[in-house]
Amino acid sequence: MAKKTTTTNKKETPLSVYLYVPNIIGYVRVLMNCVGFALCFSNKKLFSALYFISFVCDGLDGYFARKLNQVSTFGAVLDMVTDRISTACLLVILSQVYRPSLIFLSLLALDIASHWLQMYSTFLSGKASHKDVKDSTNWLFKLYYGNRMFMAYCCVACEVLYIILFLLAEKRNQNVNDVLVNAAKQNPILFVPVALALFGWAIKQVVNVIQMKTAADACVLYDINNRQKP
């Protein structure tokens, strides 16, 4: 979703922007996540369904924003905050179920740090979107943000893997590797979606590391350039 607000012929008010169709979809996503997380331990299947539907709606709001010419900075921020908080909450839950919990907490920290730095560096550079990485020299980074299908696969794979892990958890303090191996042995069909999800998840984590380093470099260069100005 683009960052700058697109103007229309009729006069807009703050309320009209808040009621943009993409932003309404964002509010519905927040509501679904709140209900889902409230019921996550009492009804795991309902939680997983609500969480995944909310994730699918992440693509719908961007589509309607472009289709209806209702792109807004507020919508872009709402979209990213909802994504990051949803994933963070699920990772916290997984950290309480599986061992070692540090794995999931580290993934949470990487996800938040990389996206926050990317958004801030985008603001410093004056770009319209945090997805504008045309000037990057890293081919994987450019492929991720330049190809919608590839990015969608990585994002879906990541969230599906987390949902599968949540559904497989039967008790606390389980070893995540043991659970995945045992599940694959008991149900060989599960091996295919888990393998596909793991591959996309791994790519997304690599991209997060690249994104964090690239954004940090942009912040440092911004300071250097400012100090060198007469």
What gap in Å lies between CA 190 and CA 102, rounded to an integer? 26
User: Which residues, 6+ apart, have CB-to-CB distance to 201 below 8 Å?
Assistant: 154, 157, 158, 161
User: Each residue of 44-62: b (16+ CB within 10 Å) or e?
Assistant: eeebbebbbebbebbeebb
pLDDT tens digits, one per residue of 5-42 = 444 446 789 999 999 999 999 999 999 999 999 999 99
Q: Which domains does the chain have, with CATH numbers?
A: 14-228 (1.20.120)
Q: What integer pLDDT is reported at residue 226 of this predicted model? A: 87
Average pLDDT over residues 50-69: 91
pTM exceeding 0.85: yes
Q: What integer pLDDT is reported at residue 185 of this predicted model? A: 84
Q: What integer pLDDT is reported at residue 81 of this predicted model? A: 93
Q: What integer pLDDT is reported at residue 4 of this predicted model? A: 46
Which residues are catalytically annotated? 83
For residue 160, pLDDT over 80 is answered with: yes
Q: What integer pLDDT is reported at residue 10 of this predicted model? A: 65
